[in-house]
Structure 1
């Protein structure tokens, strides 16, 4: 556990460094550098506790390096989101342990969750735009597209694997398996894409309505909105004079003020609403189909129990890879997460195979 703590701190140290290197805003970059130094000091403290030398500090893990690569491709907002999730998980674990052991909860347990905002707010030159920009990043916990990719592929693989095994159980891997598998792929992918389209479209319409209401309030009562914005900043711990100045600066530009207000009051990031519902639907269709085709492929080239066994092996590999990919979000052990995914996937397939076998026997009888 202690070695895991050291690795966690080293990874955070490494990732905050990368965030600082790729952050165009000088103030926020400074915050990330400070956070990197804090994480470095934590790692060194753990090493000292273990009577190890500074040279014994571990290198960044494969997970941290993978996250850095993802950051280069998809943007570093995702990396910040993962770091915030990790900090929250650690804080919750510490609080749970203290409660179990009837230890006093001091409030410092969740300090890492708030420390980024605290450092930023202590910057005397911080602007409302910078604060809003930072908070919208970690609130959105970037990487929704990556999560969707993993979960979409998992849904396609598990559901179609179970369907294929059910039909294979009823027919001994002969007639109808390929047709059923392809039908399941198409039906599932269409259902997922339609659901994604409805989800994105309805969210956009809801937020657009709320944004319109906020604009009307801004036009009819700008003084009230400025006071409200100042109060929001004061509630975050920013001194009253600084909060009022930040609010006044923001209100000089109506469109900019509207953007900040919807972020601060409603938690809406206007940039996230620019995504196309059609693109999201197509993306969802493709991801589901990629997962769903894996258990079907062997039946294209062969049949019978040979195809069933190959399908099981291919699906098991796919399930393990999905479980391993999930550790990018959870930070859990790759083998644990991968094998757990395989176990549950195989269990679902075994159940449907058994039911299919019973149905096949009863029909034959």
Structure 2
């Protein structure tokens, strides 16, 4: 038996995890550089980075939960409406399904037969999938999205913080951006492999935007900072 392995089922959690880890690395490394170029002591830089980790992880979790919950609410509302329409006018709903399958390439007789069999098996599931585009793969999962984003943000943010702990203070201005870009390149490669995308494109994408964010934040710290 041939079993095909596709990557589309990973898309929801992969998007949240990659976004969280990328934001964790970029925002925390940028914050550290901004504070460092302002002349702060190493312990102050570490405190700022830890505060950024906690705030960022909670912000990511809350943002993902609210956003995906709104999607889930919309999906439930659409399914409730479809359930009522199926109960009130099943013939019209059958005609809708038939038209969908005709548009996809079946002749009318076969499309009507397919619609009949699918609706007999699971009418709401068939309409949700083929009319509304709601599937098990794409269905909104707010808690999973929130947890994935928060955990991945914290993991990403912990990497530049680890550099602050291990590197001497004078080396932070090059070790933090250098190490963070390496982490971002690894993250880009990992996400590309998991999603089956171009390795070079994914790595270049995260590297470019990460370097831009760190450079701009460091410039702000150097421009407006006062030594402490």
TM interval, short-chain normalised: 0.7 to 0.9
Question: 2: CA distance between counterparts of 1:287 and 1:180?
Answer: 19
Q: Tell me which residue corresponds to 1:324.
A: 189
1:217 is displaced (CA, Å) by 0.7
- Structure 1, residues 210-237: CA drift from partner, whole Å, max 9, x if none? 1011011111111111111111111111
What is the match of residue 310 of structure 1? 175
SS of residue matched to 1:171: coil
In structure 2, how many angstroms separate the alpha carbons of the residues matched to 1:337 and 1:265?
33
Q: Which residue of 1 aligns with 2:217?
A: 352
TM-score by length of 2: 0.87
User: d(CA) in 1 for partners of 2:120 and 2:206?
Assistant: 53
Q: Match for residue 137 of structure 1?
A: none
SS in 1 for 2:85: helix
Distance in 2, matches of 1:220 and 1:270, equals 26
Q: 2:61 aligns with which of 183, 187, 193?
A: 193
2:105 pairs with 219, 223, 237, which one? 237
Shift of 1:149: 1.8
TM-aligned CA deviation for residue 327 of structure 1 = 3.5
Kindly provide the CA deviation profile for residues 51-92 of structure 1, in whole angstroms up to 9, marking residues without a partner as x: xxxxxxxxxxxxxxxxxxxxxxxxx342xx4xxxxxxxxxxx
Q: Give the deviation of 1:148 after TM superposition.
A: 2.3
| Cα distance, 1:194–1:306 mapped onto 2, change above 3 Å | same
Aligned partners of 1:166 and 1:356 also within 8 Å: yes
1:194 to 1:364, Cα distance in 2 relative to 1, 3 A: closer
Does 241-250 or 142-151 show the bigger shift? 142-151
In structure 1, the residue matched to 2:149 is: 284
Residue 135 of structure 2 is aligned to residue 298 of structure 1? no
Q: Identify the match of residue 3 of structure 2 among 22, 30, 37.
A: 22
Aligned partner of residue 251 in structure 1, secondary structure: helix
Structure 1: 5+ residue runs without aligned partners? Answer: 1-19, 24-75, 82-140
Post-superposition CA distance 1:154-195 (Å, at most 9, x none): 111111111110001012553410011011111111110001
Partner of 2:96: 228
SS at match of 1:234: helix
- Report how far residue 337 of structure 1 moved: 4.4
Partners of 2:197 and 2:32 in 1: CA distance: 32
What is aligned with 1:260? 126
| Aligned-pair Cα RMSD in Å | 2.5
- What per-residue deviation string (whole Å, max 9, x for no partner) do you get for residues 327-365 of structure 1? 44574353x6435533442332122222212223xx359
Separation (CA, whole Å) in 1 of partners of 2:70 and 2:152 = 21
1: CA distance, partners of 2:156 / 2:31 = 13
Between the two proteins, the alignment pairs up a number of residues equal to 227
Distance 2:58 2:17 in 1: 16
Select between 173-182 and 194-203 the one with higher mean Cα deviation.
173-182
Report the equivalent of 1:168: 36
